[in-house]
Amino acid sequence: MARVSKYSPELQERAVRLVLEHGSEHESQWAAIASVAAKIGCTAETLRRWVRQSERDTGARRGPTTSEIERIKALERENRELRQANEILRKASAYFAQAELDRPFKR
């Protein structure tokens, strides 16, 4: 099941934008993150993760974008479902093969 954030996407975008806009007013990006996090009511680490993901999404930082992460999760879920279906079919095939062997021979 998907994890539900207690912060709206609008709040996340606004917080990231504030960090990026006011980063020059602070001695480091971390100081800007800590300042904005205190104002919006989230932890600095949470806001840092949002900023890093935003940087990946815009191409400023290397790594998987949000859409790539979602695609990977969908493919992993599909892979898991296909493995389960294959296991069910394998067991059914073995069951019917055994039943065929146990059946008396007809002339």
31 and 83 part of one domain:
no
Question: Do 49 and 76 belong together in one domain?
Answer: no
Q: How many domains does the chain have?
A: 2
d(CA 73, CA 70): 5
In a shared domain, residues 59 and 70? no
Q: 20: left (phi > 0), else alpha (psi -120 to 50), else beta?
A: alpha
- Please tell me the predicted confidence (pLDDT) of residue 107: 62
- Residue 78: both structure tokens together: 């599909």
pLDDT of res. 1: 62
- Per-residue tens of pLDDT for the chain, all 107 residues: 667 778 999 999 999 999 999 989 999 999 999 999 999 999 999 999 999 999 999 999 999 999 999 999 999 999 999 999 999 999 999 998 888 887 776 66
Domain extent, residue 71, equals 66-107
d(CA 91, CA 80): 17
One domain, residues 6 and 58: yes
Q: Tell which residue, 75, 23, 26, has the closest CA to residue 54.
A: 23
30 and 8 fall within a common domain: yes
Q: Is 13 found in the same domain as 49?
A: yes
- Enter the DSSP assignment of 42: S
Residue 72 and residue 59 share a domain: no
Please report the pLDDT score of residue 66 as a whole number: 93
For the packed helices 66-102 and 44-58, what is the interaxial angle rounded to 10 degrees?
90
Predicted pLDDT of residue 102:
77
The reply to whether 57 and 80 lie within a common domain is no
Q: What amino acid is encoded at 94 in this protein?
A: A
- The two structure tokens encoding residue 56: 């990946």
Return the CATH number at 24.
1.10.10.10
**94 in the same domain as 56:** no
Q: What is the pTM of this model?
A: 0.72
> 51 and 8 share a domain?
yes
